Amino acid sequence: MPFARALHRRTFLYTAAAGGLLATSAYAAPDETDWKKLAEDVKAEMAWSWAQYVEHAFGHDQIRPVSGTPQSFFFPEHRLGLSIVEALDTLWVMGLDAQFEQGVNWCVANLRFDIDGDIQLFETSIRLVGGLLSAHHASGDRRLLALAHDLAERLSPAFTKSPTGMPYRFVNLRTGAVRDPMTNPAEVGSYLPEWGTLSRLTGDKRFYDLPKAATKAMFDRRSHLDLLADAIHAETGKWMSRRATIGPPSDSYYEYLWDGWQLFGDADSKRCYDVCTTAILKHQQDVRDGRLWFAAVDFETGARLDHHQTELDAFYGGLLGQGGAMREGRAYTLSWSAVQDQFGVIPEGFDYATFKPTAPSNALRPELADAAFNLWLLDKDPLWRRIGRTHFLNMKASSRSRYGYSGLKDVTATPKTKDDSCPGYWWSEQMKYYYLLFSDTPRFDYAKNYLSTEGNVLLGFRRL
């Protein structure tokens, strides 16, 4: 039965609750927000943060926003300009063209991947390969495509050296030596949008086939309940855990199944997405106090393991909506919005049975804004804009620091305490989601587009 029609008794319970919630929620009431003005505020914050980064850490992977000092992400001894690559398409879509050009010039002059060092395939692919491809999509600059191509070529032994086709986690950029076969769904299956785009642009089919085979190798090992566990050995193909979760380290595996269909019309990806989603909706839904959550379960028996969620799980409401399960996507996103309302900023770890944090930090996470943006693209309900507005304004109130935006050590402290780090994805994700959500910019096609798990736009930019 298609999952969108697999209506469960629990669905009625939270549907009723979500209706009640909406009726009383501040987000449901019409308001006078000037969305374009809010978008200008987001753009001004981006421009200010970029200026801080340029002055205090330009070329380094990240800036420490409280102390104004540089921080490396990949290699202590090599600068890969992670924040630049992540920021590029956000700068472009906001019309910060001089800053975009400054970033592109840095990449062309400085980015070289012939490095004798081991790098994590997953992070490098979603952040750097994806970031270079989205900047190429924005500008048409083939030098950016050449950099993405060179990097993916150097990463490809992670796939080709694996006996199962599921990639090793680390690969040496110069020698192609691989290591760390103990892996997980996200690190096995989060490549097709970026590598498939590269395949389309270069004509090299390998870049499509390698990630697709890896994704299939994992799907073929699903349990009889059609669930995946969250740890697997890439050489033996044996599961190393029994825990099925929609959160990390499984999250973007499911996202990229849908995305293979959305971006390339890949029917195999769609079939796998439907099979996995039907199983997740059947075995993992849990309704507490009228709110929908997704429990971790044993992948072979379906037995509940715990009530733990991470903030990152919040992306899933947007994905469910994209895949056609709008009712569930909506309910799950409203559950996370309630957590945002409770704490101001969502804690990194959260127990839905007690409604209490299990980890009080927040690493400047974008996932609720991501879900709100994806749902808004689907139904244009102003509710999602309002949830995005709260996400932005609360972040501004608690994370703005002397040299940029900072993650938080404790969202329950008053005032919230900062951790002096600004992850690369901040430049690529929430700042872009807010801007696209509020601005109605002509540089973006709101009807036909694609954003990766890292927020990189691989389809939908309009060069006017």
Which whole-number Å values give the CA distances from 368 to 251, 332, 379, 393, in the listed order?
A: 14, 10, 17, 13
Nearer to ligand IFL, 130 or 324 (CB): 130
Is the CB of 21 or the CB of 257 nearer to ligand IFL? 257
Pick one of 135, 247, 454, 460: the residue that binds ligand IFL (CB under 6 A).
454
Using rule CB under 6 A, residue 86 touches ligand IFL:
no
Question: How many CB atoms are located within 10 Å of the residue 440 CB?
Answer: 11
425 binds ligand IFL (CB under 6 A): yes
By the rule CB under 6 A, 61 interacts with ligand IFL: no
| Contact pattern from residue 361 through residue 400 relative to ligand IFL, giving x for each residue in contact according to CB under 6 A and a dash for the rest | ----xx----------------------------------
C-alpha 411/C-alpha 423 separation (Å) is 17
Tell me the residue number closest to ligand IFL, measured at CB: 453
Nearer to ligand IFL, 230 or 454 (CB): 454
Contact pick of 252, 269, 340, 362 for ligand IFL (by CB under 6 A): 252
Q: Shortest distance, CB of residue 215 to ligand IFL, whole angstroms?
A: 15
The site for ligand IFL, by CB under 6 A, has a size of 8
Comparing CA positions, the residue from 78, 89, 61, 141 lying closest to residue 113 is 78
Q: How far apart are CA 77 and CA 147, in angstroms?
A: 20
Task: Reduce the DSSP state of residue 429 to 3 states and report it.
Answer: coil
Enumerate the β-bridge partners of residue 292: 287
Select 131 or 344, whichever has its Cβ closest to ligand IFL. Answer: 131
Least spacing, CB of residue 365 vs ligand IFL, in Å = 5
Helices (H), 400-429: 425-428
Reference 239, options 174, 164, 296; nearest CA is 164
The least CB distance from residue 347 to ligand IFL, in Å, is 13
Gap between the Cα atoms of 117 and 173, Å rounded? 6
Question: At closest approach, how far in Å is the CB of 311 from ligand IFL?
Answer: 8
Nearest residue to 411 (alpha-carbon basis) of 306, 341, 313, 316: 341
Nearer to ligand IFL, 199 or 453 (CB): 453
Q: Which residues contact 121 (CB under 8 A, 6 or more apart)?
A: 155, 158, 167, 168, 169, 170, 171, 187
**Residue placing its CB nearer to ligand IFL in the complex, 167 or 366:** 366
Task: Choose, by CB under 6 A, the member of 93, 178, 227, 312 that binds ligand IFL.
Answer: 312
Which residues share a beta bridge with 461? 444
The reply to whether 53 sits near ligand IFL by the rule CB under 6 A is no
Residue 453, interface with ligand IFL (CB under 6 A)? yes
**Residues near ligand IFL, by CB under 6 A:** 126, 252, 312, 365-366, 425, 453-454
